[in-house]
Chain A
Amino acid sequence: MRAHWEHFPHEADMGVRGIGPSEAQAFEQAALAMTAIITDPSTIQPLELIRIECEAPDDALLLAEWLNSLLYEMSTRQMLFGRFAVELGQGALRGRAWGERVDPERHHPAVEVKGATYTSLRVAQEEGTWIAQTVVDV
C-alpha cells in the first residue's frame, strides 16, 4: 500500500487523515493533507528545510503537536511546506519540512489553518495500515 492522504468532512472545519504503511509515514501524510487545505502541495518548491522536534505523552497528542508545530513555523516564517520526513521515538518526534515563502500569485492560498484540534483525533494501526487523523480549525 502506498502512503497517501485524504480529507474527511466536518461541518465548519476540515478533517485531515494520513494513511501509510508506517506510523511515521501516516504523520507525514497528515501534514500533507493539512497543506492541501491551504494550497495545492505540488505548487510548493522545497527550497528551504525546517527541522521540528516535539514531544507528547501519547501518539494522538504527538500528532496534534506535530501539526501545531508546523502551523507555528508556517505562521512565523510566512512559509508553506510541501514535503515532510518524520522519525518517531518514544513519545518524541523529529521532523523535517521542506517548503518556501508564501507567494499568493502562485499558491493562491485558500485559507489559514488556525490550529489542530483534538476532535476526531486518532492514531491507530488497522490491518497493517497506520492512520493519523484529526480535525483542524480553519
Chain B
Amino acid sequence: MDLALLTRSCEHEWEIPAQGAMRVPAIIFASEALVRQMDRKVYEQAVNVAMLPGIVTASFVMPDAHWGYGFPIGGVAAFDADEGGVVSAGGVGFDVSCGVRCLHTGLKSAALRADQEELADVLYAEIPVGVGSTGGIHLGASETDAMLAGGASWAVQNGWGEAEDLERIEERGQMSGADPHSVSVRAKQRQQDQMGTLGSGNHYLEVQHVTGIFDGAIARQFGLEMDDVVVMIHCGSRGLGHQIGTDFLKRMAMAASAYGIALPDRELACAPIRSELGQSYLGAMRAAINCALANRQILTHLVRRAFAHVLPEARLSLLYDVSHNTCKLEHHGGRSLYVHRKGATRAFSPGHPELPEALRAAGQPVLIGGSMGTGSYILAGTHSSQRQAFSSACHGAGRAMSRHQASRTWRGREVIEALAARGITVRSPSMRGVAEEAPEAYKDVVAVVDSAEASGLARKVARVEPLICIKG
C-alpha cells in the first residue's frame, strides 16, 4: 500500500480520511512495514466498507489484514440500527464463526516426546480431516435444529464434553437469538454428516508447547507456564456456514437496490438490520455460530479421547474459545452496535462482565494462529482495546503469498521433512494442501502481534510453538 494515501496518526495507526461516498474514515492499525506489505486492494476494501449505511466511527483494519472479498480479511466495522445501519453477509464471510479454541493438557513437553509420533497417529485417526471427510455423527432434522439453537451446550448435553467447558467459550457456548428456521434446507443438508470434522485449507489442530511468556501475571491467570503443552483447534461452521453465506449473499445482493442501498462492491451485499432479510440473516448467522461452537466442542471430545489413549495422565481443560468471523450485538460507549469482525478477534478489556470470573481481571484471551512452522500467540484484551476498535484485535499471521504461488514454490513432502527436522510432526491427507500452507507463505506473525500490542489492541501474554500439526 502506498503510504502517500494515508495520514499517519501515530506510530501504529494510519487514517484514510473520509472522502467521496465514505461516511466515516478508515483506520489501519499496523507498523509501517506491515502497511507497506498490504495490497492496494486492502485500501479499496476498507474504503468501500466506510461507505455502508449506518457505519459508526470508522472502518477498521487490523495489523494482519489482507485482500479479502467485500471486507478486507482483518476488517472490523460497527453499525447502529437506529441510524439505518446494515448487517452484511459479505462482512462475516462464508466460514461463519471460524475460530480458535485452546486447551490446557496439564503436561510438559518432556512427557510427550517419547509418544509424539503415536499421539500424532491417534489424533489423525480420531479427527476427520480433509475434503469429503465425514464425522461419526449423523444429524436428523430435529437434532440439527437443536444443535443450531444450543451450540456447545447442546454438544455437552449430548455427552461431548463437560459443563465447565462452557464457561470458557464466548457467549458461554450458546449464541442467543439463533433461528434454525432461517437456515435453508440446503445448509442443513451440508452439515448432516460434517459434525466433528476439521475441514481443510488453513484449518488445523495443533499440539503446542509454551516457549515464551511476556506477561507473567496474566499468564498465571490464564494457567500458562513455560513448556506447558496445549492444544489449539482452528476451524469453523463447516458446510452449514458456507451455505448460509452463499444463500444470504445472493439474497442481499438482489435486494440491495430495493432497500435503496448503493453497493460499491456486490460482495458487500447487506440489508438494513431492521428489515425482514436483515433479521433473517442474523438468525441464521447466529445458528451458524452455534454450529461452529458445537463443532469445536465435539472435536475437543475427540482430542480428549486421543490423549486418554496415549497419555492417560493428561487433563484437557479449556483456556478459551474465540470466533473471528462474526457479527455480534454489543454495547460500546452507551450504544448498541452490530459489530462485524471478519478475520478479527474480539478482545474484551479486563473487568468485562461477559468474561468468566477466573479471567475477568486478566482480560479476554485472544488466540492468534500462526503458520505450521512458526509460533502462535496468546494475547489478552487491554483497557485500551475498547477505545481502539470496538474491542477487536488481529486473528492470525495472514497470508503473504497466494495458494497458487505457494504450491508452485514448495513441495508438501519437503515441507513436512523440513518441519520434522525441527521436531514438528505433521499429518495431512494432502501434500499439495501442505505446500499451500507452507510457513513461508504467511506473514511474520511476530510482526503482527508486536503491532497489535504497540497499537493497544491487545497485550502479548505467551508464545506457543507446534509439536504436532494435523492439517486438513
Known A-B contacts A14-B404, A72-B186; the reply to A111 vs B131 at CB < 8 A is yes
* Per-residue contact bits, chain A 108-129, to B (CB 8 Å; 1 contact, 0 not): 1111101111110100000000
Docked Cα-Cα span, A121 to B430, in Å, equals: 29
CB pair B243–A72 under 8 Å, yes or no, is: yes
- Name B201's contact: one of A78, A104, A138 (CB within 8 Å): A138
Task: Let me know if A13 is at the binding interface, CB within 8 A.
Answer: yes
Docked Cα-Cα span, A99 to B383, in Å, equals: 55
Docked Cα-Cα span, A114 to B93, in Å, equals: 10
Task: Let me know if A102 is at the binding interface, CB within 8 A.
Answer: yes
Q: A9 to chain B: which residues have CB within 8 Å?
A: 402, 404-405
CB pair A117–B267 under 8 Å, yes or no, is: yes
CB pair A117–B69 under 8 Å, yes or no, is: yes
Which of B131, B186, B242 counts the most A-chain CB atoms under 10 A from its CB? B131
CB pair B430–A11 under 8 Å, yes or no, is: no
- Name A78's contact: one of B69, B132, B472 (CB within 8 Å): B132
Q: Which residues of A in the span 72-128 have a Cβ within 8 Å of any Cβ on B? A: 72, 75-76, 78-80, 101-102, 104, 107-112, 114-119, 121
Docked Cα-Cα span, A101 to B95, in Å, equals: 24
Task: Let me know if B328 is at the binding interface, CB within 8 A.
Answer: no
Task: Let me know if B332 is at the binding interface, CB within 8 A.
Answer: no
- Name B93's contact: one of A68, A109, A137, A138 (CB within 8 Å): A137
* Per-residue contact bits, chain A 1-29, to B (CB 8 Å; 1 contact, 0 not): 00000010111111000000000000000
Q: Which residues of B in the span 262-310 have a Cβ within 8 Å of any Cβ on A? A: 265-267, 269
B70 to chain A, nearest CB (A): 7
Nearest-neighbor residue (CB-CB) of A79 within chain B: B132
Known A-B contacts A9-B405, A14-B404, A111-B436; the reply to A118 vs B267 at CB < 8 A is yes
* Per-residue contact bits, chain B 426-438, to A (CB 8 Å; 1 contact, 0 not): 0001111100100
CB pair A61–B242 under 8 Å, yes or no, is: no
* Per-residue contact bits, chain B 296-329, to A (CB 8 Å; 1 contact, 0 not): 0000000000000000000000000000000000
Known A-B contacts A9-B402, A14-B403, A119-B267; the reply to A108 vs B430 at CB < 8 A is yes
- Name A109's contact: one of B189, B200, B269 (CB within 8 Å): B200
Nearest-neighbor residue (CB-CB) of A117 within chain B: B69
Q: A116 to chain B: which residues have CB within 8 Å?
A: 246
- Name B190's contact: one of A64, A76, A104, A117 (CB within 8 Å): A76
Known A-B contacts A65-B250, A118-B266; the reply to A12 vs B399 at CB < 8 A is yes
Docked Cα-Cα span, A101 to B267, in Å, equals: 32
Q: B405 to chain A: which residues have CB within 8 Å?
A: 9
Q: B430 to chain A: which residues have CB within 8 Å?
A: 104, 108-111
Task: Let me know if B113 is at the binding interface, CB within 8 A.
Answer: no
Docked Cα-Cα span, A65 to B250, in Å, equals: 8
Which of A65, A80, A110 counts the most B-chain CB atoms under 10 A from its CB? A110
Which of A13, A37, A65, A102 counts the most B-chain CB atoms under 10 A from its CB? A13
28 contacts between A and B (CB under 8 A): A10-B402, A12-B66, A12-B67, A13-B68, A68-B246, A72-B190, A75-B194, A108-B430, A109-B130, A109-B131, A109-B132, A109-B200, A109-B429, A110-B200, A111-B403, A111-B433, A112-B131, A114-B95, A115-B242, A115-B249, A117-B70, A117-B94, A118-B267, A119-B69, A119-B267, A121-B267, A138-B201, A138-B403
- Chain B residues with CB under 8 Å of chain A are 39, 41, 66-70, 73, 90, 93-95, 130-134, 186, 189-190, 193-194, 199-201, 239, 242-243, 245-246, 249-250, 253-254, 265-267, 269, 398-399, 402-405, 407, 429-433, 436, 472
- Chain A residues with CB under 8 Å of chain B are 7, 9-14, 37-38, 56-57, 61, 64-65, 68, 71-72, 75-76, 78-80, 101-102, 104, 107-112, 114-119, 121, 135, 137-138
